[in-house]
Structure 1
Amino acid sequence: SPHWPEGLHGSISHDTGLAVAALCQGGAAFGIDLASAAPLDRALWNEIATPQELDQGTTGFDRGEIARLVFSAKEAAYKAQFPASGAVLGFDAMRIEVGQGGLVARLMREAGPYAAGTAFRGGWARIGDRLVVLMQAPAPAAAAQPGFASGNTASPGRARMVRRAGVS
C-alpha cells in the first residue's frame, strides 16, 4: 500500500486503462475502488458475498450488479480500515448494506481499533462503463473529539463523494 505523508490520507485504484487517486488532509481514512460496472461473474458470488448481500433487490439491480457493487464496496472499505488496523481481512469480514442513501460496510470481527459492528459509510457512482466506490472509516479517535459522538463519521477533513448515484 502507498505510504502517504504525515497528516494525509489517500487511496488509489485502477482498472483496465484507467487509474484514480484521492487524497485528503486530516479526518478519517477512506478507500476508493474503481471497477467495471458489468455484472460480476456468477462463479465468484459465493466467494465475495452472502446470500443476504446478494438479495438486496430493493435497489433495482440484478444479482450480478449487486455482486459487483458488494465486491467493490468491500475493496474500498478494506482500504479504509487498513491504515489504522493493519488487518488483512477476507470478504467474510464485512457485510455490505446497499441503500438509496449510500453504502454501509459493517465489520463482522474486530480489526485493530475497530470493534465488530463498526460501520464504514460511503457511496458509489457509475461513470460510463465504470463503477467508483468511496468508503470512509470512522475516525478511531472520534470519541475523544469534543462534539463528536462515538462512531460519528462527520469529522473534520471528511472525504466526500462529489456525486452519489445508484448504478443503473
Structure 2
Amino acid sequence: MKCIKKLVALTLAAVLALTMLTACGGTPAEPLTQPDINKGKEIAAALNEARVAAGKKEVPFDEEYSVKLTEYANAYTNWQFAWRAYDQDQTAENKATLDAAKRKYDEVSKELPSGVSKGKMLKVNVAAFDNVKANGRNYFAGTDKNGNYYPLATQEGNMCAVTVITKEDLTFAIVFVGTK
C-alpha cells in the first residue's frame, strides 16, 4: 500500500510539473533584458539632429515598437556572447551553444514585429555613441566608408525605434527607422 501511495504521489507530481511547463506553451525562454527607454530616447534625439542637418524630417520615437525590438536585441547579444565564448575556448559545448544562439538569432530576425516596413536597422555600441557625444559630435552625422551620409540620417520613414539593452560588459542599441 505504501508503495502504491508513493507511486501515485510521484505520478501526480510529474503530471503537475508537466502541466506547469505546458500551460504557457512550453518551457520558459531565457528572460529578456528589458530596454533602457530613456537611453533610447537620447539616441533617437541625436539621430533626429542628424536627420535635420541632412535635410530630412524628424522621425518620432515609437516606444511600443522599441520595446518589441527587445527580443531581437537579446538574441543578437546572446549570439555575440556565445561567439566570444567559443572564440576564447573552442570546446564542443561552446560550439553547440554558439550554434543554438545563431539559430535563435536567425529565427528572431525573420520574425521582427509587424506593422513597420521599408526599415533600416543599425546595431550600435552605446559606449561608442557616448564617446562621440562626449567629444561634442553627433554619432549619426558622419559618413560611411564610401563617403555616403550615415544611413539612418537619410533613411525614408515616419518613425524610429531604439532598444538599448545591457548584457555583462556590453550596452548595446538597435536603432531602427521605418514606415509605420
Q: Smaller-chain TM-score range?
A: under 0.3
Q: Please state which structure has a larger fraction of its residues in helix.
A: 2
Bigger CA radius of gyration:
2
TM-score by length of 1: 0.27
Greater relative contact order (Cα 8 A, min sep 6): structure 1 or 2?
2
